[in-house]
């Protein structure tokens, strides 16, 4: 039993030191794709981002939003021409992990506790 406890403790210590890779600055600019299920259908959004602007292409429509970086891994997205009150609300984005040309992120309305996760791929 003592041996099991020692092995468990060592495993816990080693895994607690492991930090996921986060090279967020590699994803500040470029062309990206994001896929998600919407009403049971897999849909794809393509977006082009420079340091301050993001242009989204979704179902034949284009949307432009401003970007304000909080730090290297977090930013606020705000639509430039919102069509309704819901679109006026800013979205907080946080890059959680990066791996080569893919990053996992968490997003939600600013000051909201309900967050969702997604994965985007850099294609250019």
Question: Rounded to the nearest 5°, which phi and psi values hold at 116?
Answer: -125, 165
pTM summary value: 0.76
Residue 52 CA: distances (Å) to CA of 22, 28, 69, 92, 117: 20, 9, 8, 14, 22
- The pLDDT tens digits for 1-53 are 545 444 445 444 454 555 566 789 999 999 999 988 888 888 899 999 998 99
H or E segment and range at residue 4: helix 2-17
Q: What is the pLDDT of residues 89-102, one digit of tens each?
A: 999 999 999 999 99
Specify the fold of 21-122. Answer: Lipocalin (2.40.128)
């Amino acid at each position: 039993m003592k041996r099991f406890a020692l092995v468990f403790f060592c495993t816990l210590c080693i895994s607690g030191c492991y930090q996921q890779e986060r090279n967020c600055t590699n994803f500040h600019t470029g062309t990206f794709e994001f896929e998600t299920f919407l009403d049971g259908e897999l849909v794809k959004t393509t977006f082009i981002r420079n340091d301050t602007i993001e242009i989204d292409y979704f179902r034949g429509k284009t949307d432009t939003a401003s970007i304000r970086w909080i730090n290297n891994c977090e930013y606020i997205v705000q639509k430039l021409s919102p069509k309704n009150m819901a679109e006026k609300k800013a979205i907080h984005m946080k890059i959680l992990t990066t791996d080569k040309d893919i990053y996992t992120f968490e997003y939600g309305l600013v000051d909201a506790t309900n967050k969702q996760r997604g994965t985007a791929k850099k294609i250019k």
